[in-house]
Amino acid sequence: MNGQAAYLSNTIDAIVAGAGSLLPELLLAGFFLLLVTLDLFKSPIIKRLLPWLALSGFFAALVVQVLGGYADESQSFLSLLLSDGLARYVGILFSAAGIFTVLLSLQNRQLERLIYGKGEYYALLLMLVLGLNLMAKSVNLLMVFLAIELVSIASYILTLTLKEEKRAVESGLKYILYGTLSAGVMLYGMSFFYGLTGTLHYTSDTFGLSLLQADSQLVTVAAVLVFAGFFFKISAVPFHFWAPDVYQGAPMPVVALFSTGPKMAGIIVILRFVAAFADPLAFSDVQLFLGIAAIATLVIGNVTALWQRTPRRLLAYSSVSHAGFLLTGMLAFGTDYQTSILFYLTVLLFMNFGIFLFLQLAEDGFGVEQLEDFAGLGRTYPYIGVMALLYLLSLTGLPPFAGFTGKLLIFSNIWEAYALSQNALLLTLLMVGILLTGVALFYYIKIPYYLFFKRNYTERNLVISLSDKLLLALFALPLLVLFFKPDLLLTWMEQLLAQTP
């Protein structure tokens, strides 16, 4: 009895000691509960305050994460969550994504006309970002599963925000079915790893050493099953089928969030997980699987995007191709690939929110649904036309924009890793990546082609609000600054990653 009391006392002490490392998550959870409670009131004044409260919650979490100091370096919470420099940096990106999503939501006409569910909508945004933070901090397989499911549940409901539209309901149901399948497969693979290693703490030395002693084929099978769940979150092949339908049916701010937040969190989880398979001799099959998945994601994402006629589906397959580039960067073992991946994720955040804001303006103002509907808008409204061109060139990976720098860093790491290992898979990845960057130009350039080289037959006169113009400029500015001065961000990232054990 005394032993149980001592164990309980030690556990409570450990929870209290590690609670400080979860300050950003506690803030998000507190604002989530506040929004859910206030949404019960029918006062119009309170209803109007809800998005600003959500914005305040994201901003509070952002300030805490930027300032730091709320946890000791590499603070662990019950060996489940690790608050290191890596988690802190992507936590900043998640909070920024939440802020950007609320700002886009305030400008979205579909969400403005929403009569019921506004409070739940903003509360779910807080829940989703909370889950993303937990994913990035998770170092335990069971905790990873719970965090992914928290993000997934919030994502399913957000997809169904516009319940009156059949397209939204259809995409939501498909999203749930794909998500349930991938979650079940992932959990089955995690059970294999627990049986092989006797631990769920996948960043521990015990986990890595146990894998070295286990049957290599069984380890490969377990890894493939677990990656099924991870690939679903980043929309990588073959778990990318949900992306086009969800991008087509969900509100534009939600689509912008899906294209960045879950992708970033999934990449961080994979980043921590693949460290256990860095040995090229013992885990060559796992690395081969990742390489094939990266190539397939690059090829299918880029080639399929060429045939799309709707901008939302085009950008969905564009998002799939970016997942391929990020998977490619993770195979550059022996190099400083973490910094390159984080830089790419940062640039992707601004590129995606910028291009989806442009698309939101086009849809709300002109009812754009097909690429042909962009005809002449760039000449009639040169400001948004030039901004769209800027984002699309950066997404392609052309100078003078930070998208070029992001891809260059990843390609440089792949070449460096190839020089060290002489692994033909790395050289193949490099060649495929460079070739498909050229292919990407052909589908990205379709939008500027219609914007500037086709005649505008519409007689509608759109007034671009000052807030929309400022937001477009806000998302574009980092893409220019980080091309000319990437060291401003890279130096800070290296300092934060130095806290990562």
- Which tens digits make up the pLDDT trace of 374-433? 888 888 888 999 999 999 999 998 889 999 999 999 999 999 999 888 888 899 999 999
- What is the Cα Rg of the chain in Å? 22
The verdict on 246 and 316 lying in the same domain is: no
Lowest mean pLDDT among 118-122, 240-244, 278-282, 283-287: 278-282
The verdict on 255 and 357 lying in the same domain is: no
In a domain, 6, yes or no: no
Question: Of the segments 215-219, 270-274, 330-334, 350-354, which one has the largest average pLDDT value?
Answer: 350-354
Q: How far is it, in rounded angstroms, from Cα 153 to Cα 149?
A: 6
At 74, phi and psi to the nearest 5? 55, 40
Contact 201, 78 (CB under 8 A): no
The verdict on 245 and 283 lying in the same domain is: no
Per-residue pLDDT at 71 exceeds 70: no
In a domain, 440, yes or no: yes
Positive or negative: CA dihedral 247, 253, 254, 260: positive
The verdict on 422 and 377 lying in the same domain is: yes
The verdict on 249 and 328 lying in the same domain is: no
Q: How far is it, in rounded angstroms, from Cα 226 to Cα 221?
A: 9
Q: How far is it, in rounded angstroms, from Cα 277 to Cα 157?
A: 35
296 pLDDT tier (thresholds 50, 70, 90): very high
Among residues 246, 276, 306, the one where a domain terminates is: 276
Range of the domain at 320: 278-501
Q: Which helix or strand (DSSP H or E) is residue 76 part of? A: strand 75-77
Beta strands 75-77; 81-83: pairing state: antiparallel
The verdict on 354 and 224 lying in the same domain is: no
User: pLDDT: is 120 or 13 the higher one?
Assistant: 120
The verdict on 271 and 283 lying in the same domain is: no
The verdict on 335 and 423 lying in the same domain is: yes
Give the pLDDT of residue 252.
92
Among residues 276, 306, 334, the one where a domain terminates is: 276
Residue 419 neighbours by CB under 8 Å, 6+ apart: none
pLDDT, tens digit, 9 for 90 and up, residues 100-130: 999 999 988 888 777 677 888 999 999 999 9
Contact 322, 433 (CB under 8 A): no
Per-residue pLDDT at 74 exceeds 80: no
Q: How far is it, in rounded angstroms, from Cα 257 to Cα 273?
A: 24
Per-residue pLDDT at 295 exceeds 80: yes
83 pLDDT tier (thresholds 50, 70, 90): confident
User: pLDDT: is 62 or 76 the higher one?
Assistant: 62
Q: How far is it, in rounded angstroms, from Cα 77 to Cα 273?
A: 18
For the chain, the domain total comes to: 2
The verdict on 243 and 315 lying in the same domain is: no
Per-residue pLDDT at 73 exceeds 60: no
Residue found by looking up tokens 């020089």 in the block? 419
Where does 379-448 show beta strands of DSSP type E? none
The verdict on 49 and 26 lying in the same domain is: yes
Give the pLDDT of residue 69.
66
The answer to whether the predicted template modeling score (pTM) of the entire model surpasses 0.75 is yes
The verdict on 294 and 406 lying in the same domain is: yes
What DSSP character marks residue 41? S
The verdict on 49 and 137 lying in the same domain is: yes
Q: Could you count the other beta carbons within 10 Å of the beta carbon of residue 284?
A: 15
Positive or negative: CA dihedral 89, 95, 96, 101: positive
